[in-house]
Amino acid sequence: MATNRRVLPGFHLSLGYTLLYLGVLVIIPLIGCLVKASTLSYREFHDAVWTPRTRAAYELTFGASFTAAAISVVIGLLIAWVLVRYEFPFKRFFDSLVDLPFALPTAVAGLVFSTLYVENGWLGRFLVPLGIELAYTRAAVVLVMVFIGFPFVVRTVQPVLESIDAETEEAAQTLGATRWQTFRRILLPSILPALLTGFAQSFARALGEYGSVIFVSGNLPFRTEIAPVLIVARLEEFKYAEATAIALVLLVSSFAMLIVINLLEKWTRKWDK
Amino acid sequence: MRSLLAMAIGYLILLPAVAWLLVWQQSPDQALLNVSYDPTRELWKEINREFIRREQDATGQRIAINQSHGGSGSQARAVIDGLEADVVSLAMWPDTDAIRKQGLIAPGWEDRLKNRSLPYYSTIVFVVREGNPKNVRDWDDLIKPGVTVITPNPKTSGNGKLTLLAAWGAKLLQTKNEAEAEKFVTELYKHAPILDAGARGSAMTFVQKRIGDVHIAWENEAHLEKKESGGRLELVYPSRSIKAEPQVALVDAVVDRKGTRAVAERYLNFLYSPKAQEIIAEHHYRPSDDSKRNRNELRDLELFDIKALAPGWDEANIKFFGDGGVFDRIYQK
């Protein structure tokens, strides 16, 4: 108790509620997932999660999520930089636009994107003649994943950028640093942990995305079928345990990736000092 | 002392939330819930209005009928997981039977109502663009070079399943040869560039995004699509297609608990009345009373049922949509 003395009271109560909420919202559903999947024998589990078709779907899901998260980092950093460092008309409006993907039902986003990029869509009618066919391809999957993922990067990097004074950069310049050196030596070390967090968040978000992706990808087996589609297909057959098994594979592998990214982040923080 | 106060405040916030949840979950006494699939919303709205009026005239009782719509499979899962449906009216036999397998519907449910519990049935037909530019007349035309077809994914959609079964069955009846049928559906899916997750998605791909030459869809949806297109779409009836059987059933476990069996039974029997059959026909479903069908609109064609392809639905599901089944083989490289 003594070690937790704070200005504001209520440690026990708040910890209690924290555990209650985490239990109800996260831990119990996860345990349910494990219990359901454990009704399968090892053989059945293996057969459910490891077929050529599921492997192709994992490959696409993880590959597209990773690519999308990487693109989100670049776009997100750029947007955050512009929003923090420059003044321009309607800046607050643009700032709030960044939150739109959080609020918009993702199915809407998927529909809009696919309608835009099909052959006679607003953008598709210019792009398709040039040979750029985005709708119903793997590239379209990445595109919507970037859409739902980049705000995470913006919102994690923005506060960090705000906390860095422009004077620090000016000081670096007066000491003879080039622009690249200023970025590489002064800015990057401070924002790298935030960038990694943003990357991890948008990556994790993209892995589980279903609503928007099914509208822009053709859902063709082996080509544009993401793993969550397989889960839904299993549910349609009333095979709950098999569906949960695939979900578990996604869950465990994304959890492992988040741990790796967290370790990386810790390591970069050390390197910063 | 302080923590006590904090706790009190905490509960004050929590209690109304819990109370709200409880109230929200409670439903009025004489209310039926009809759990159905997606495109039947308007149909049931009209039938319900009529039934409520008649019930009030006959018994003086005011009842309410709530509707729930969604993908047929996910609706069945909702009922299995505890959605209190008095009546289910799902798109496919396996969905209703999945509820029976959980013990919520009595065995032999299919024979409890007239016409194998089918107040109406439907089929799968083609929608093509104005003037039928690719000259599509029957199943064989769908695999001509340059023809693309739009239909949903059989793994996630009832429409998708029926499309595959209809194509298979049409070819099987034509050639009496399963290998030919398999060759045909394999070729057919090579002409399908997109497999949307559900019937709605496919309709949007075909109508709004104008992708594809032929939309293989439920007959009732096809008629709606044509009506809304203002002449830009036409219907094509193939020579043969599958008989789609969206059966209705009483959910015994629920009606016995809620005490709504009598009114739910009257409701289901009402579906076979002349008035209800007329409403059904107006919504482009084929009424079980064939005299109510408008033959110019819901045209004659040879309809085969699942028994033409497999001993029953369970076997068909394994054969066509199970692991390593027909659909999986189509995409196996």
Q: Look at residue B26 in the predicted model and tell me its pLDDT.
A: 47
**Contact check, Cβ <8 Å, B6/A13:** yes
Q: Look at residue A197 in the predicted model and tell me its pLDDT.
A: 92
The chain A residue lying nearest B191, using CA atoms, is A220
* pLDDT higher at B90 or A266: B90
Residue among B7, B77, B195 whose CB faces A220 most closely? B195
**Contact check, Cβ <8 Å, A118/B209:** yes
pLDDT band of B27, cuts 50, 70, 90: very low
For residues B327 and B316, what is the distance between their CA atoms, to the nearest angstrom? 12
Q: Which stretches of B191-305 are DSSP H helices?
A: 199-207, 219-229, 252-258, 261-270, 274-282
For residues A141 and A225, what is the distance between their CA atoms, to the nearest angstrom? 10
Q: Look at residue B7 in the predicted model and tell me its pLDDT.
A: 66
Residue among A12, A121, A222 whose CB faces B333 most closely? A222
Q: Is the dihedral of CA A258, A260, A263, A269 positive or negative?
A: negative
Q: Look at residue B2 in the predicted model and tell me its pLDDT.
A: 59
pTM of the predicted structure, to 2 decimals:
0.82
Contact partners, residue A94, CB within 8 Å, separation at least 6: A83
Which residues in chain A have Cβ-Cβ distances shorter than 8 Å to B155? 229, 233, 236-237
First to last CA, chain A: 32
Q: Look at residue B116 in the predicted model and tell me its pLDDT.
A: 94
Q: Look at residue B15 in the predicted model and tell me its pLDDT.
A: 67
For residues A54 and A246, what is the distance between their CA atoms, to the nearest angstrom? 8
For residues B35 and B72, what is the distance between their CA atoms, to the nearest angstrom? 9
pLDDT in tens, A219-230: 888 889 999 999
Distance from CA of A70 to the nearest CA of B (A): 27
User: Where does residue B117 rank: exposed (0-12), middle (13-18), buried (19+ CB within 10 A)?
Assistant: buried
Regions of chain A short of the pLDDT cut 70: 1-5, 271-273
Mean pLDDT of chain B: 91
Residue B23 has pLDDT above 50, yes or no: yes
Residue among A119, A135, A229 whose CB faces B156 most closely? A229
**Contact check, Cβ <8 Å, B153/A229:** yes
For residues B157 and B240, what is the distance between their CA atoms, to the nearest angstrom? 21
For residues A201 and B152, what is the distance between their CA atoms, to the nearest angstrom? 32
Residue among A136, A232, A238 whose CB faces B193 most closely? A136
pLDDT in tens, B28-55: 458 999 999 988 999 999 999 999 999 9
Q: Which two tokens stand for residue A138?
A: 């793997």
Which DSSP string corresponds to B70-104?
A: S-HHHHHHHHHTT---SEEE-SSHHHHHHHHHTTS
- Give the closest residue to B54 by CA, choosing from B254, B286, B273: B273
Range with lowest mean pLDDT among A168-177, B120-129, B203-212: A168-177
Which residues in chain A have Cβ-Cβ distances shorter than 8 Å to B323? 47, 51
Q: Look at residue A1 in the predicted model and tell me its pLDDT.
A: 47
For residues B239 and B82, what is the distance between their CA atoms, to the nearest angstrom? 42
The chain A residue lying nearest B156, using CA atoms, is A233
Which residues in chain A have Cβ-Cβ distances shorter than 8 Å to B74? 235-236
**Contact check, Cβ <8 Å, B331/A236:** no
Residue among B153, B317, B331 whose CB faces A222 most closely? B331
Residue whose token pair is 């699509």: B225
For residues B166 and B216, what is the distance between their CA atoms, to the nearest angstrom? 10
Range with lowest mean pLDDT among A41-45, A254-258, B259-263, B312-316: A254-258
Portion of chain B with pLDDT greater than 90, in percent: 81
**Contact check, Cβ <8 Å, A12/B328:** no
pLDDT in tens, A116-168: 988 888 898 898 888 888 888 999 999 999 999 999 999 999 999 999 888 88
**Contact check, Cβ <8 Å, B156/A13:** no
pLDDT in tens, B213-257: 999 999 999 999 999 999 999 999 999 999 999 999 999 999 999
Distance from CA of B27 to the nearest CA of A (A): 25
Mean of pLDDT values over B191-209: 92
